[in-house]
Structure 1
Amino acid sequence: MTLGVYINLKTEAREAIAFYGEIFGSTCEDLMTYGSIDHGDEFPMDEATKELVMNASIQIEGQTVMFSDTPAFMSELVRGNNVTLVLETTDGDKLTRYFDALSDGATKIMPLQQTFWSEKFGQLTDKYGVGWSFNLTK
């Protein structure tokens, strides 16, 4: 069994995929747009909506992270704090690199610092509203 991560965005999925892909050295191989499948008359779409990402994924440290845009005909997207991605690694330099790269446009909640459970731990909410925790493990 695996547990997947799915990030829903308003219209920024392509941008987020490129941003995360650059940071984590990953490329998207499976991007599907809303216009790439036939929705019939049930969901009429303008050209801009047809270009939105219906589903795509990248690999982050061996884990699949999926993305989708949320067109107007779907439920309203509300950015929340109910999902946090947790990056754990034994490589302190890599952890710092990822934290620094994701800090671009982010709100830092807790800078990378020593805690009673880790030599390095930090938290931020990135420019797409996605929460991240960073933990150096032994």
Structure 2
Amino acid sequence: MIVTDTDKLLLTGSSLPFCNAADPIETSVTLDKNKQAIFGYAQSGVVCDGNVELTENTTITYVLVQSEQSPKGLRLTGAGFTNPFDGHIEKVTVSSDGQSIQLENNIENSGVSKYQFILESEENDLLLVSPDPQVINKGQQPPM
């Protein structure tokens, strides 16, 4: 039974679409029965892969969505980069409550920038690191 756009993607075997940088990306972290963290990304109820593809300077916003299966007191503390010197992301800002993070992109540097979110919770003193979403800078597109 197809109920949502996400159902359509899953039933057709399609890969998840990129997220749209124009809207906040809802980021969820849940724990499975073995206490393993599972990250998910969505926009307007449609699952996306956490990655964004850009053709202009943009601020990408990820918003943490809490659920009963989320670690207690989960909050974002920052982002780590596989290459922080590539010039794709110029600035990272975490909200004072740790529930959102913004990444300011510089489109002048084409290519891929991979990053991981760093989170903490009240459950222990260890830090949680996300799988790596990425920004794909396609470069500026010529005006039409």
Task: Output the TM-score relative to the length of structure 2.
Answer: 0.26
Q: Which has the larger radius of gyration?
A: 1
- The structure with the greater share of residues assigned to helix is 1
- The structure with the greater share of residues assigned to strand is 2
Task: Output the TM-score relative to the length of structure 1.
Answer: 0.26
